[in-house]
Chains A and B, each alone.
Chain A
């Protein structure tokens, strides 16, 4: 069974204090790993897709990386508006059509 574990569960940062979120996964044949951001009361917002180990993607203050067992979401010099829940998800391909398996998320709070 596909499993995704995110850590830490919650992270509090001061504005400008860089850090990383972790996503460990167990899947039989990774087809894609996805990062989403979710604000309270809203649907998840797509951030990145990573397909193979060694791949990196960047967007503004966020950078996602992928190894064979985990992914990291690096946040550089965060701002209060980066506060949100960050979700990691995997698709195992094969017969897992349209199915994303999600981790529990990391709640990020950035204080001014």
Chain B
């Protein structure tokens, strides 16, 4: 079974631009969560989608948004990029929409200059 895939793997953007990251979950998984990982803050929860609905959101500004499609694929968008948005963005999928284990993709490394 194919794992979680994320595209692109690497991205360089300029401050003020916007970016869209994509995630394809493991086949059959309908819950998709997004995380931001930085050396200082570690892994922090951004939001979770299940059946095209955002059920949970972390403490991030409104510049961070996402969506999920009917095939469970998900995208996240960051508008008006700031230098502090440079991070590894990880997507994880889960079979159990409750408290089941999450399987992570390789991440998208975003650098904002």
Contact = CB atoms under 8 A, between A and B. Distances in A.
A45 B55 CA distance: 24
A78 interface: no
Contact of A100 (B4, B33, B97): B33
Interface of A: 31-32, 34, 36, 41-46, 49, 51, 87, 89, 91, 93, 95-105
Main secondary structure of the interface of B (DSSP, over half): strand
B42 A104 contact: yes
B55 A43 contact: no
A101 B45 contact: yes
A30 to B, nearest CB: 9
State the 4 A-B residue pairs at the shortest beta-carbon distance, nearest first: A98-B48, A31-B99, A43-B104, A97-B55
A98 B102 contact: yes
A6 to B, nearest CB: 10
A100 B98 contact: no
B99 A103 contact: no
Nearest to B6: A43
A41 B88 CA distance: 9
A97 B50 contact: yes
B101 A34 contact: yes
